[in-house]
Amino acid sequence: MTGGRRGLAAVAALLVLVAGCGVRQGRYAGVSSTVATQAPDRPAKGVEAVRGFRSVRGYRPTPAPVRVEIPSIGVASTLDRLGRAPDGTIQEPTRWEVAGWYAPGTRPGDPGSAVILGHVDSKGGPAVFFRLRELGRGDTVTIDRADGSSVRFVVQRTEQYPKDRFPTDEVYYPTLTPALRLVTCGGDFDAAAGRYRSNVIVFATMRR
């Protein structure tokens, strides 16, 4: 017997186990036999209410973010949309003075970490997130959304990581806590390569 066949046989055996749990037997075959179905004498008090029950439907996505404001460091910027580059890295914002939102990820206010990037500087001088590293616990970040609503986040901490040890999971991994990550460059500058060796990341959570 080949390894693959042995595997399939194991799966088949396990399926039998599951069937013993009450599935794969014509779905609800025998369901009524497990319980002594002694019918209630009269309809239950809440029967009309349960008949009228409707589950929530019509999910409407949270509107996309359009603007970021960080008063304590003088940031007020519209937001471009960013995606993933062909090499798997996140696209960089195309304009020095404008921040960008990672659109395949979380929308600000939804469960998960919304990610906003901005350049720290250019050859011409400071860029939109030049002072990002100054943010500390308690500073606030406001995100305006396409429908005119806003959501506010409170900074928990600011950290710097070498780019080759970027905490991908802490920044991008799905979570059920609404959060915000602001990312720019920092640390030493590699003049030959024209790039910084580290990233500065601000971790913020939504203010309820």
Partner 1 sequence: MRCRTGLTALVAFVLAAAVACGPGTAGPSGSTATPADQRALRLAAATAAPVSPRQVRAQFEQLLGLHALLAVRQMRSVVAPAPDLGQAAEAALQENTDALSRLVASAYGSAHADRFTPLWQRHLGDLVAYARGVAGTDASVRETARAALLADADAYGAWLAEASKGQVQASDAAAGVRTHVEELMGQADAYAARDYRLAYRTGRAAYEHMFTAGAALAKAGVTPEVAVGLETPPERLRSAFSMLLGEHLELIVDAQRATFAGSAEFQAAAAQVNANTIALTKAMAGIVGPTKAEEFQTAWANHVEGLMAYTAAVASNDQAGKTVARENLDGFAERLGLYFSDVVRNLLAADPLTDAITAHDAHLINQVDAYAAKDYPRAQQLEREGYLQMLGVANTLVGAIQRTVKPRLPVGGSKTGGGGLACRRP
Q: Which of residues 2-31 bind partner 1 (CB under 8 A)?
A: 4, 7-8, 10-11, 14-15, 17-18, 20-25, 27-31
Among 61, 74, 86, 138, binds partner 1 (CB under 8 A): 61
What residue has token string 């305006």? 144
Among 88, 138, 148, 208, binds partner 1 (CB under 8 A): 88
List of E strands, the chain? 65-70, 75-82, 99-102, 112-117, 121-122, 125-126, 140-145, 150-162, 178-190, 195-206
Instruction: Choose between 1 and 36: whose C-beta lies nearer to partner 1.
Output: 36
Among 1, 51, 148, 208, binds partner 1 (CB under 8 A): 51
Binders of partner 1 among residues 156 to 185 (CB under 8 A) are 161, 163-164, 166, 168-170, 172-177, 183-185
Considering only the stretches 68-76, 112-120, 140-148, 149-157, report the one whose residues sit in contact with partner 1 under the rule CB under 8 A.
112-120
**Residue 3 carries which side chain, given as an amino acid letter?**
G
Among 1, 74, 138, 188, binds partner 1 (CB under 8 A): 188
List the x/- string, 31-50, binding to partner 1 by CB under 8 A: xxxxxxxxxx--xxxxxxxx
| Residues 6+ away with beta carbon under 8 Å from 70 | 76, 135, 139, 140, 141, 142, 182
Which H or E run contains 193? none
57 in helix, strand or coil?
coil
Ramachandran quadrant class, 74 (left: phi over 0; alpha: psi -120 to 50; beta: rest): left
Considering only the stretches 72-80, 137-145, 146-154, 188-196, report the one whose residues sit in contact with partner 1 under the rule CB under 8 A.
188-196
Any contact of residue 150 with partner 1 (CB under 8 A)? no
First-to-last C-alpha distance (Å) of the chain? 60
